[in-house]
Structure 1
Amino acid sequence: MGRAIKSFRTKMLVLFMLSIATSALVTYGVYRGLQYYYHNYVYYEDQIALWRKWILKVGDVNFFLILFIPLAILMFYLLTIPYSGYFKSISKGIHHLANGEFSEQVVIETRDEFQSIAEDINRAGMKLQEAVTRGDFAESSKDQLVLNLAHDLRTPLTSVIGYLEYILQHEELSKVTSTHYTTIAYTKSKRLETLIEQLFEITRMNYGNLSLKKKPIDLIQLLVQLTEELYPIFESQQLEARVDLPTTVQIHGDGELLARVFENLLANAARYGNDGKYIDIVGNILDDHIEIIVRNYGDFIPQEELPFLFDMFYSGDRARTEKAGSTGLGLYIAKNIIEQHGGTILVQSDITATQFTVILPIGSGT
């Protein structure tokens, strides 16, 4: 609850209400001032009396709305000016990352999503600087990583800035339209937050800081539960899940991380498979391993893209399509998680179907 109160949307709503309240008080003050002046200092023959008759003809409410509405818009514009500066600071911070200037800090103290994004950018810069110092990757690799990072951070941020600037520059927008654009900006901000969270998860994986909490779990039960949870997504894409799994298979692993892997595969199958009718979830026991197949019958992946599909920030048309909302990190994370469980993840695709295969050791694992 406390986090919601401090959120960007809540602050925008508070500023909107504050601008309305302030404008209402100013308008009322003007009204009372004119009323007092008219009754105490104006004679019938005075010119201002003729204006009063015109105001009565137009209507007091209509006349003062002419003052109230522009004043409310002006107040909201003035109150939200600092947020335009926050976007510029974040954009500047990303620009520094893109240029390899990892020591530059983004300072925003708002106790909301802006401060979180600034802190995430600063941590990203710190981690990248540490990696460069240790020589974890070559200079060319660093340049490519930063380029991809800047691209993926900048895309949603550009949308957020664009929508908010549009709101600030178009005073005639209705409340409904303004709320609609603000909601879009908020959604893009959440996408940016998700991307940054994935980046830090990758950092923890690469530096060995991601600890697996392995314990005995029933993989089949996990898959059935995920299939049920994703049913609304399948239904919205007019897809039907066909499940062919063993009764039970015990493995030793981190249930939360494995759930993320299969949720990613199933969500991708729904996202890209809506040209077909089914999503197949098949399990086969191979000696001391279990093979899980997730297959869809929609768009296929070109053969030249398959070897790079699990690369971080893969830039193929399919993997990075904005329509699908892909960050180019999901499959990279999935492969890392599976490999840390002693398993393998494979992909094959042709004009008929696209199939992801996960192979994990049964029992105590590795």
Structure 2
Amino acid sequence: MLIFIPLAILFFFLLTKPYETYFNKISNGIHDLASGEFTSRVQISSKDEFGDIATDINLASEKLREAVERGDFAESSKDQLVLNLAHDLRTPLTSVLGYLDFILQDNHLTVEQIRHYAGIAFNKSQRLEKLIDELFEITRMNYGMLTIEREPIDLTELLNQLNEELYPVFEKNHLIARMNVTPRLHIWGDGELLARVFENLLTNAIRYGSDGKFVDINGYLDEEEVVIQVVNYGDHILPEELPHLFEMFYTGDKARTDQGGGTGLGLFITKNIVMQHNGTVSAQSNLIRTIFEVRLPQESTSKESGL
């Protein structure tokens, strides 16, 4: 829903000025959320986009408050949680609000200029949407509400499909994906969730491996386990960072200062999904390459264990 913030707000502002009150309330609500004020609520009761946005912000605040009280962020203190939220929410929010304010304050902009700046605000808001979506997904995991629809999955086909879908992204980053996957690697699991796992690993390899030329996707059978490896040849990961890669909000110092970096939630979600499939995920890195490896039970083994 947050993806519609810039265009929805712009549309209503151009029609009527009283919506400035809603705009300010939403802005303050997101700032409160980023500051760790999880008891704060946005008071908007209108039955329109503004009301929907307020509901989403309030729900996110409530779920985060409950998660903190339960101690779900044991590996990251509440102070660190708030610090990371402040960075990941405020960075795109500041850009969104800046461009929208520029549009609203300048009465001499052409339609083309308005569309240009609104488009920039729209793109910046996508980071907000991604962060909120991932926070909700983590909440579902913590509440045990993540439903796994198990069925026979051919990981070879799934990886080939993801490779095709991400081809434009590889090309844009001047990377070549090399597939080295054994045919018919079958497991018993949730295809949609597993696609999320490998999409996370592949986009991670693209983001941090762009200094290299290739991203390798390896897949093979190791006794009763299916092994999938995503390998990139970009900057290596420091040894002291490796144990923390799958922690919530962890992105490393370099990524944390990069406004185009990830939210630090993708690998945390990846680990949780893999664990719910009775598998493991790990990472190793040296000066030449970085390998993320997922191990999942073979299809017959998964069925026998009652997964």
TM-score, normalization by structure 2 = 0.87
Deviation (angstroms), 1:121: 1.8
More deviation in 250-259 or 119-128?
119-128
Matched, 1:182 2:118: yes
More deviation in 146-155 or 277-286?
146-155
Aligned partner of 1:314 in structure 2 is: 250
Task: Give the letter for the 1:232 counterpart.
Answer: P
Task: Give the letter for the 1:272 counterpart.
Answer: Y
Matched, 1:191 2:189: no
Matched, 1:152 2:88: yes
Deviation (angstroms), 1:135: 5.5
Residues 130, 105 of structure 1: CA spacing in aligned structure 2 closer, same or farther, 3 A cutoff? same
Aligned partner of 1:111 in structure 2 is: 48
Residues 291, 104 of structure 1: CA spacing in aligned structure 2 closer, same or farther, 3 A cutoff? same
Matched, 1:200 2:136: yes
- Deviation per residue, 1:104-143 (Å, 9 max, x gap): 321333622x4343222211222233345556567x8333
- Deviation per residue, 1:83-123 (Å, 9 max, x gap): 543342123223444555433321333622x4343222211
Deviation (angstroms), 1:327: 1.0
| Residues in 1 aligned to 2:180 and 2:149: alpha-carbon distance in whole angstroms | 28
Which runs of structure 2 are paired with 1:102-141 in the superposition (5 Å)?
102-108=38-44, 109=46, 111-112=48-49, 114-134=50-70, 141=77
| Residues in 2 aligned to 1:110 and 1:152: alpha-carbon distance in whole angstroms | 29
| Residues in 2 aligned to 1:91 and 1:286: alpha-carbon distance in whole angstroms | 52
Contact (CA 8 Å) 2:96, 2:125: kept in 1 or not?
yes
Give ranges in structure 1 of 5+ residues lacking alignment: 16-75
Matched, 1:142 2:78: yes
- Deviation per residue, 1:42-77 (Å, 9 max, x gap): xxxxxxxxxxxxxxxxxxxxxxxxxxxxxxxxxx4x
Residues 232, 99 of structure 1: CA spacing in aligned structure 2 closer, same or farther, 3 A cutoff? closer
Aligned residue for 1:203, secondary structure, equals: helix
| Residues in 2 aligned to 1:165 and 1:13: alpha-carbon distance in whole angstroms | 13
| Residues in 1 aligned to 2:70 and 2:284: alpha-carbon distance in whole angstroms | 37
More deviation in 322-331 or 214-223?
322-331
Residues 154, 218 of structure 1: CA spacing in aligned structure 2 closer, same or farther, 3 A cutoff? same
Task: Give the letter for the 2:92 counterpart.
Answer: P
Aligned partner of 1:170 in structure 2 is: 106
Q: Which is higher, the Rg of structure 1 or of structure 2?
A: 1
1:9 to 7, 21, 28: 7
Task: Give the letter for the 2:213 counterpart.
Answer: K
Task: Give the letter for the 2:42 counterpart.
Answer: V
Aligned residue for 1:317, secondary structure, equals: helix
Residues 280, 302 of structure 1: CA spacing in aligned structure 2 closer, same or farther, 3 A cutoff? same
| Residues in 1 aligned to 2:182 and 2:194: alpha-carbon distance in whole angstroms | 18
| Residues in 1 aligned to 2:234 and 2:277: alpha-carbon distance in whole angstroms | 30
Contact (CA 8 Å) 1:296, 1:355: kept in 2 or not?
yes
1:343 to 279, 300, 303: 279
| Residues in 2 aligned to 1:137 and 1:199: alpha-carbon distance in whole angstroms | 12
Contact (CA 8 Å) 1:87, 1:161: kept in 2 or not?
no
Aligned partner of 1:161 in structure 2 is: 97
TM-score, normalization by structure 1 = 0.74
| Residues in 2 aligned to 1:145 and 1:279: alpha-carbon distance in whole angstroms | 32
| Residues in 2 aligned to 1:125 and 1:273: alpha-carbon distance in whole angstroms | 34
Aligned partner of 1:259 in structure 2 is: 195
Which runs of structure 2 are paired with 1:218-237 in the superposition (5 Å)?
218-237=154-173
Residues 272, 322 of structure 1: CA spacing in aligned structure 2 closer, same or farther, 3 A cutoff? same
Residues 196, 83 of structure 1: CA spacing in aligned structure 2 closer, same or farther, 3 A cutoff? farther
| Residues in 2 aligned to 1:198 and 1:208: alpha-carbon distance in whole angstroms | 15
Of all paired residues, the percent bearing the same amino acid is 57
Aligned partner of 2:219 in structure 1 is: 283
Q: How many residues align?
A: 298
Contact (CA 8 Å) 1:280, 1:294: kept in 2 or not?
yes
CA RMSD of aligned residues (A): 2.6
Deviation (angstroms), 1:319: 3.6
Contact (CA 8 Å) 2:91, 2:259: kept in 1 or not?
no
| Residues in 2 aligned to 1:315 and 1:278: alpha-carbon distance in whole angstroms | 22
